[in-house]
Structure 1
Amino acid sequence: MATVRYMVADVELAVAFYTSHLEFGLERQFGPAMAILKRGDLSLWLAGPMASAARPMPDGRKPEPGGWNRFVLEVRDLPGLVARLRGRDVRFRNEIVEGPGGRQILCEDPSGNVVELFEPA
């Protein structure tokens, strides 16, 4: 099982996004500080501004959402899923691109964290 931690601006909003749009189940929530979600073998830890993981580093840098690192969700019918998500105002960073391994697109959670949706060839 893989575990990924995402820093989020609002835990409640992030939980709603992942459970309603990307088929994650809520395992446990620790108030506004953190939540643990699961989808298959993936455990997603959502850490808000009040979580211990959000404390500044010794050099002063502060963990924050966004960036380009991401996890990949394999999906069926990528164009259909993208159309449904766009109908729900989910943000995308690009259009569907196709390569030798399949098709992919990058969507964002409410905090700007990237999720790659991938349909194998």
Structure 2
Amino acid sequence: MTVPDEQASVRYLVDDVQAAIDFYTTHLGFTLNTNAVPAFADVVRGPLRLLLSGPASSGARATPDDATDAGRNRIHLTVDDLDAEVDRLRRAGVSFRSDVIAGPGGRQILLADPAANLIELFQPAHRPDAP
């Protein structure tokens, strides 16, 4: 398997690799790249390769015990219509970890995958000066 230079890889530790594959491919537009369930899989969306490492994977075993707090890091997915995405995901039974919030750069909402890894859906603000 070769990963293009234009792709960034992010590792998420998950409890159930198949549940993570189903979540990302069903709800967030990722496609399955590699499937080594139950230990590992990777899914791709545009330039993002998301590594889904189960408890038996080498990536999960390499995590020190004192680094188990996931913190506030998250992947950031840009969407064209945040309200439509929120409605679609709620109809599919996905729950959110925040309300929609707005700032000068746009609007965002947080959700979590089945292992509680955060995902931010973000709709950029319309900028009249943008081409």
TM-score (norm 2): 0.84
Residue ranges of structure 1 left out of the alignment (5+ in a row): none
Partner amino acid for 1:48?
G
1:20-59 alignment runs, 5 A limit: 20-55=26-61, 57=63
Given that 1:14 and 1:109 are in contact with CA atoms closer than 8 Å, whether structure 2 keeps it comes out as yes
C-alpha spacing 1:97/1:65, structure 2 compared with 1 (3 Å):
same
Query: For 2:9 and 2:68, how far apart are their aligned partners in 1?
Result: 18
Given that 1:7 and 1:64 are in contact with CA atoms closer than 8 Å, whether structure 2 keeps it comes out as no
**What's the % identity of the aligned pairs?**
49
TM-score (norm 1): 0.91
Residue ranges of structure 2 left out of the alignment (5+ in a row): 1-6, 126-131
Say which structure is richer in strand. 1
Secondary structure (helix, strand or coil) at the match of 2:65 reads coil
Query: For 2:13 and 2:25, how far apart are their aligned partners in 1?
Result: 17
Query: For 1:4 and 1:47, how far apart are their aligned partners in 2?
Result: 10
In the TM superposition, residue 31 of structure 1 has moved relative to its aligned partner by 2.2
C-alpha spacing 1:68/1:50, structure 2 compared with 1 (3 Å):
same
Q: Segments of 4+ in structure 1 off by > 4 A?
A: 62-66
Partner amino acid for 1:16?
D
Secondary structure (helix, strand or coil) at the match of 1:44 reads strand
Residue of 95, 116, 119 corresponding to 1:115: 119
